[in-house]
Amino acid sequence: MDSAGGSFLVVDAIKDVLSSVKNTERHAEMTKILSPFMERSDGADLSYDDFMKEY
């Protein structure tokens, strides 16, 4: 949870990690691995709470 008491989005954390990857080949590989964690089955962004329930 963030300091405001709400859930931060897992997708934001993943995008932050991916943005720090300078090697484009490695970035593509990491994106492929992490993509399933970026959205819920209904297409909405995955919150930390949803992530914890699912995984």
What is the tens place of the pLDDT at every residue in 5-18? 445 677 777 777 77
Could you tell me the pLDDT band of residue 51, with boundaries at 50, 70 and 90? low
Query: What pTM did the predictor assign?
Result: 0.39
Which of 50, 21, 24 has its CA nearest to residue 36? 50
Q: Count other C-beta atoms under 10 Å from residue 26's C-beta.
A: 11
The residue-averaged pLDDT of 40-53 equals: 67
Separation CA 34–CA 19 (nearest Å)? 13
Measure the CA–CA gap between 39 and 46, rounded to whole angstroms.
5
Mean of pLDDT over the chain: 69
pLDDT category of residue 35 using cuts at 50, 70 and 90: confident
Domain segments of the chain as ranges? 10-54
